[in-house]
Structure 1
Amino acid sequence: MVFDKFAYKKIFNKMFSKPVTITFWDGDTVTYGEGAPVATIKFNEMIPMTSMMKNPTLTLGEAYMDGIVDIDGSLQEVIVSAYQSKDSFFNGSKFAKFVPKQKHTKEASQEDVQSHYDIGNDFYEKWLDPTMTYSCAYFKTEDDTLEEAQYNKVRHILNKLHAKRGESLLDIGCGWGTLIITAAKEYGLKSRGVTLSQEQYDFVSKRIVEEGLENQVEVYLRDYRDVTQTYDHITSVGMFEHVGKENLSEYFQNVSDRLNPNGTALIHGITGQHIGAGVDPWINKYIFPGGYIPHLAELVEIVMDLPLQFDDIEPLRRHYQKTLEIWTDNFHAVKADVIDSMGERFYRMWDMYLQACAASFESGNIDVIQFLMSKGPSMHDMPMTRAYIYEADNAK
């Protein structure tokens, strides 16, 4: 135990870029760094140093879930401080080796998706905005509400496609349906969405009927690999993170195959800023089983082997940080309700997940990028500049 405490103190001396107070299991308290600490980390029990060194994010994540570690202050700031310290063992990516390769069969993909999204619509309704959009929002101003920013994002995507009324749209991984509903109502598109989540499918099916859009919008409980029709436009938001490293080429090949000649696709997803930076064993075990966040160069290389042309690449990292911070505030506001229905361990798990993701975007470990692509042979009717996007954005 004495050796473990000595080792902890040696590690903590270099772990944080901002001052942090550590209270050890025996009551000993040490502040690392100069100035007022951003948070106090309390170890209620000793965690063997061998576990910490073998798999630190999984060990600490589970310790926080189980109440072995408590944090008084901003968990997000603690994680940012650890990421930003050049000498911390959390700096950069060292954890890709802990995530096993997975086959990502259709059956496995459905099981992975349902383990996260089929927790229950009532759970997500507690802290998402009324659009039930569970992806990065787009803040045109600092004062936009989350609901406004989510509609901004949907319209920003649809505006980029340069779609015309009456054309067809496929949304791969359609979530709770705000994009396909908006595409039909505001843009006159014939929209189709696919999802592997039963809860999402039921929710969207009900929305379609309530909006009277049965002749214009369809949703299917189906793997994207089972879609056979082709479309004028394709969108996919927060989807490629779920397909796995081994399936990325197949995913983008499917996008190409399902897109009509001269069609446009908008693919929106999280990328790692460093090789393996988006791989975390704790998130893979508890939050997104089967998930993999690719490096930007990895995606570009895959797309360049397909008959697709990049037309625009837009990073939105700060937008996702802000989105997650609002989600965290919303989640904290319903703490008692979540603990009552799901238990404290579940609450602590999701609290850590939301704040850790916000910290990853804030520190620059990961980004979220919108890729606008077209499929030849020609795109003669596409505008020459981005002006058409922002003119349409500002018209709403």
Structure 2
Amino acid sequence: MARWLQFALSRLIRQGTLSVTVGKEPPFQVGDGSGLPVAIHIRDARASRRLLLNPDLTLGELYMDGDLVVTAGDIGDLVALAMRNVNSGLRFAPIKMQRIWRRVFRVFEQLNFASRSRRNVAHHYDLDGKLYRLFLDPDQQYSCAYFDGPVESRPPTPYTVACRDGTVVPPPPPADGLDEAQLAKKRHIAAKLLVKPGQRVLDIGSGWGGLGLYLAQNCGADVTGVTLSTEQFTVSNERAQALDLADKARFSLTDYRSLDGRFDRIVSVGMFEHVGVPYFQTFFDKAAGLLAEDGVMLLHAIGRSDGPGTTNSWIAKYIFPGGYIPALSEVLPAIERSGLIVTDIEILRLHYAETLKAWRTRFHQRREEVEALYDERFFRMFDFYLAASEMAFRYDGMMVFQIQLAKRQDAVPLTRDYIPRGEASLRETEQAARALKERAPPGAKRG
């Protein structure tokens, strides 16, 4: 079996250095000997056979189960090596045929009707809330950060997060710049939305409430957030109460498809990846119906830079069932048919790679606590997810797009100068709020 694996890997790995040992057989090496050496040990011939037959699914499964151990480098290095060689790998028949098959039948995997959407969201977002507090920033932003300056110049974040049981989980040291980059992301989005005090803002897929609370606190908006995660719904409203913002930011356990009314601003961050191709038109038609005539919408989502594809089978099974990362060529036609106008598109290339790198570093720093919450297999599963995701943004054509939408051509200024001006104004607001908080006596009400 090692001989067959060597034949397959020699066709896949053309650049780089990979050493492979199967069971007690002698190791073999593939690649051209360049770059960082990566070495793996596969438990036995059965595990080797599984890897040969369905590598997209079983690489992650073997790592989770301890049947594949990285003995030089780490799992991120192994995934990066494979992704850098993906073009030659597509000539390997099993990989090519599996991806064609999944492309043909992907529509069935993405039939995200309401009840199925809720189950899919619960699979990932209703994990123990303590898990996410171990590696996210204190505001629990679980989407791409925005690294807009040198790490050394970033001040500490003003946010703190209390656990639902009343205890406080201190965040890891913010030396990676993640905390300020997540604050910069919210500031960047708020500036693009041109939010004015008193405007009604809809946050579709509101997470743990961080963006909605930011818009209410710093822009004076009246925010409605919707999520399908019971955990996020509960935490968001608790945070609004704790910040004395419950009258300005309300979060509900609601499918966006069931919403009515009109909103001056609509924002959606990290939710569109769960919509599914069959529902793209539904999403934008609904957004168009909810957006005021002079309104502005911002969609922030992961995208593909190399055209339509399929969801990796391991990710679909273990992490995001029903999820799909779209290409702009799939998104823009649905926008055009909805009657919405694209007023701005920004591509964030390596920002998510740096975000995932920081998350994974923090995740490893808290390994004992993760395994106490779940177990060692869960740690390896989530580690593989974070590592593979980072490398997908570095080497496999993943990016993040921010699409600004409106119904009228004059809904936003003619040039993009308003974005840095808006960010500068928001920085001043944040600093004033931080100074006020520092001067407030102990026990004073927050607002």
**TM-score bucket (shorter structure):** over 0.9
Tell me, in whole angstroms, the C-alpha distance in 2 between the residues paired with 1:365 and 1:113. 25
2:122 corresponds in structure 1 to: 114
* Alignment match, 2:164: none
**Cα pair 2:110 2:323 within 8 Å, conserved:** no
Distance in 1 between residues matched to 2:310 and 2:206, nearest whole Å: 23
SS at match of 1:132: coil
Range with bigger deviation, 213-222 or 81-90: 81-90
Aligned residue for 2:42? Answer: 43
Corresponding position of 1:125: 133
Q: Check 1:339–1:48 CA distance in 2 against 1; reply closer, same or farther (3 A cut).
A: closer
Q: Distance in 2 between matches of 1:219 and 1:329?
A: 31
Going from structure 1 to structure 2, the CA distance change for 1:52 and 1:44 (only over 3 Å counts) comes to closer
Q: Residue 96 of structure 1 contacts residue 279 of structure 1 at CA under 8 Å; is this kept in 2?
A: no
Distance 1:255 1:47, change over 3 A: farther
Query: Distance between the aligned counterparts of 1:299 and 1:36, measured in 2?
Result: 37
Alignment of 1:270-289 (within 5 A): 270-277=302-309, 279-289=311-321
Provide the residue aligned with 2:238 in structure 1.
206
Match of residue 349 from structure 2: 317
Could you tell me whether the CA contact under 8 Å between 1:277 and 1:366 is conserved in 2? no
User: Are positions 1:76 and 2:76 aligned together?
Assistant: yes
SS at match of 1:135: coil
User: Which structure 1 segments of 5+ residues have no match?
Assistant: none
Q: Aligned in 2, Cα 1:117/1:90: closer, same or farther, shift over 3 Å?
A: farther
Structure 2 counterpart of 1:76, which letter?
G
Whether the 8 Å CA contact 1:45–1:69 is kept in 2: the answer is no
Distance 1:15 1:366, change over 3 A: same
- Aligned pair partner of 1:10 in 4, 7, 12: 7
Q: Which residue of 2 aligns with 1:31?
A: 29
The DSSP-based 3-state class of the residue aligned with 2:379 is: helix
1:21 and 1:79 map into 2 onto residues whose CA distance is 14
Conserved? CA contact 1:272–1:278, under 8 Å: no
Q: Provide the aligned length of Structure 1 versus Structure 2.
A: 391
Q: Distance in 2 between matches of 1:36 and 1:271?
A: 29
Secondary structure, counterpart of 1:203 in structure 2: helix
Q: What is the RMSD computed on CA atoms of the aligned residues?
A: 1.9
Q: Counterparts of 1:158 and 1:19 in 2: how far apart (Å)?
A: 45
Contact residue 82 and residue 90 of structure 1 kept, 8 A? no
What SS does the aligned partner of 2:287 have? helix
Distance 2:335 2:65 in 1: 42
Equivalent in the alignment of 2:268: 236
Offset of 1:106 from its aligned partner?
0.8
Which of 93-102 and 28-37 deviates more?
93-102
Matched, 1:21 2:19: yes
The residue type paired with residue 30 of structure 1 is F
Which amino acid letter does the alignment assign opposite residue 288 of structure 1? F
SS, match of residue 298 in structure 2:
strand
CA shift, 1:15, in A, is 2.3
TM-score of the two chains, using structure 2 as the length reference: 0.83
1:334 corresponds to which letter in structure 2? R
Q: Tell me the CA shift for residue 312 of structure 1.
A: 0.9
> Which sits farther off after the overlay, 351-360 or 302-311?
302-311
Checking the alignment, whether the CA contact within 8 Å between 1:138 and 1:152 is kept in structure 2 is yes
After the TM superposition, list the runs of 4 or more consecutive aligned residues in structure 1 that deviate by more than 6 angstroms: 90-93
2:88 maps to a residue whose letter is D
Structure 2 gap ranges (5+): 155-176, 428-447
Q: Alpha-carbon deviation of 1:389?
A: 0.4
| Contact 1:83 1:90 (C-alpha < 8 Å) held by counterparts | no
Deviates more, 1:168-177 or 1:21-30: 21-30
